[in-house]
Structure 1
């Protein structure tokens, strides 16, 4: 066997000395986990390490559920009343409607049900092939950095000329067509990272459960109101009186339940507390995007929103009842990450 020729013996070709095989050297995860349990390795040829806990329920999600207890108990009493009527009439056990109603909350995590909610309740559509290619590429980047399995979520598009995005149900992420067409990839990634923060923090599903379990009480009020408005004038006064009594009874039931649970002072502040929890959820989602490294891009998007349409002057109660903090407040909280 002839000896291996040296580089100068091979003409103009240069053969590098043998070295370690880069493919064989698989990267190892970092010793210290990143903030908020975001364990990842990112870059060409690197592996992506998914965090063990893909979701959690932070304080804002717990606060949303706690503040919805009065509406939940009121709806439970409405469903129980329906069950009693069915027990007296057709002979259906009174507990069956209540059990089915309680178990129905699991539907918000059922993928076909989520698709129906996204399409018919939130007005979203499936992305076109070109839209899907861009969305999925950016989404893979964001979820890889976050250490989250992006395949668990479904991406949707809202046919709107506004710059917006939303996270709903258990696995739905939507962006407007305007955002998809006008935002750069990094800014779109910042927006998606914000919505991912709503999902991983439990904000989206907690809010949907609150609305879902408060639905029976709201339906009773709407049916009574619609019935009163549809009747002829001679009967309307009597129906108004009966409907008003029922509405006052339901309102009194809400107040009684809330007073028992929280006390009268907290009852008066309940709408403001719910709005404050919503604002805190937005700031936490902003922080999630900032921790992933998208603070500058998210700040750019917020500044664009503020420049395109700065909000009109609002009264103090209106600001306190807003579920979203104003742009200067969000930028102030992002300053530590810029």
Structure 2
């Protein structure tokens, strides 16, 4: 059963994974994006910077949620979702209305937390998860909000988007030049690549990607731990085990894929929960 609600509602606070992502990934990518945006248009730069603050307001966060493909729940969905959310919020000592609930139209089972107070679940999660499983998944997403992952993740996406677009374009352009160049040109490219990797600005941008993904995986462990602390450890454990049994982690997994994965393997999450729960 969920634990009794704490006497004092826990305040959202950035944990280590959120802080590390902000310092090692968000700051360098935002600075690089700022240079790109300024060269495009100073006025556009101001609007882009303001968007990060405006998106967290009560008026504009719903608009941003819709732009991300989310929709408000229907009356039937709301009854299921609200009932589960009220119980989770009570366990955390929070008022249910502190967060807004949304639905993503897909049959797969998933959920997400983004911006300042948006919590979304897929249509498949609402129709296929048992009530306790749905609560456990929602508790996990609440953990992302309470530990600062959702806010930092949204800012990383927004303020890193310009440099991501430019980097992908330049990467493809460089690849085409490499393929079409002669032997001498290829040697020049191979000589320049290590220099770019040790040049501080480009090194920061290159390594910000795997660094942010590493801390994203750590954030998943932290959100699992948060849900377990609310008393949802067994339900979350059962849900993750069910997903593992269904083969959601099956398929080839290269070292690069593991380094750039946003989520840790389900088995690792289950083992962490078992260690937290202690001997059966």
Is 1:40 matched up with 2:5? yes
Unaligned stretches of 5+ in structure 1? 1-37, 42-48, 84-93, 229-236, 238-247
Structure of higher CA gyration radius = 1
Corresponding residue for residue 276 of structure 1: 214
**Alpha-carbon distance change, 148 to 50 in structure 1, aligned in 2, over 3 angstroms:** farther
SS at match of 1:214: helix
Corresponding residue for residue 146 of structure 1: 92
Equivalents in 1 of 2:224, 2:102: separation in Å?
A: 21
Shift of 1:184: 1.6
Shift of 1:108: 2.3
Q: Is 1:60–1:278's contact at 8 Å kept on the other side of the alignment?
A: yes
TM-score normalized by the length of structure 2: 0.80
1:255-284 CA distance string (max 9 Å, x none):
68x9436x95x7664433222111000000
Equivalents in 1 of 2:236, 2:262: separation in Å?
A: 19
Out of 247, 263, 270, the residue aligned to residue 324 of structure 1 is 263
Matching of residues 1-338 of structure 1 within 5 Å:
40=5, 49-51=7-9, 53-66=10-23, 67-83=25-41, 97-121=44-68, 123-219=69-165, 259-260=199-200, 264=203, 269-309=207-247, 310-335=249-274, 336-337=276-277
Corresponding residue for residue 180 of structure 2: none
SS at match of 2:235: helix
**Alpha-carbon distance change, 180 to 50 in structure 1, aligned in 2, over 3 angstroms:** farther
Unaligned stretches of 5+ in structure 2? 178-188
Shift of 1:179: 1.3
SS at match of 2:94: coil
1:183-234 CA distance string (max 9 Å, x none):
1211111000000000011101101101111223345568899xx9xxxxxx
Which of the pair is proportionally richer in helix?
2
Q: Is 2:113–2:144's contact at 8 Å kept on the other side of the alignment?
A: yes
SS at match of 1:109: coil
Deviates more, 1:149-158 or 1:107-116: 107-116
Q: Is 1:169–1:208's contact at 8 Å kept on the other side of the alignment?
A: yes
**Alpha-carbon distance change, 216 to 133 in structure 1, aligned in 2, over 3 angstroms:** same
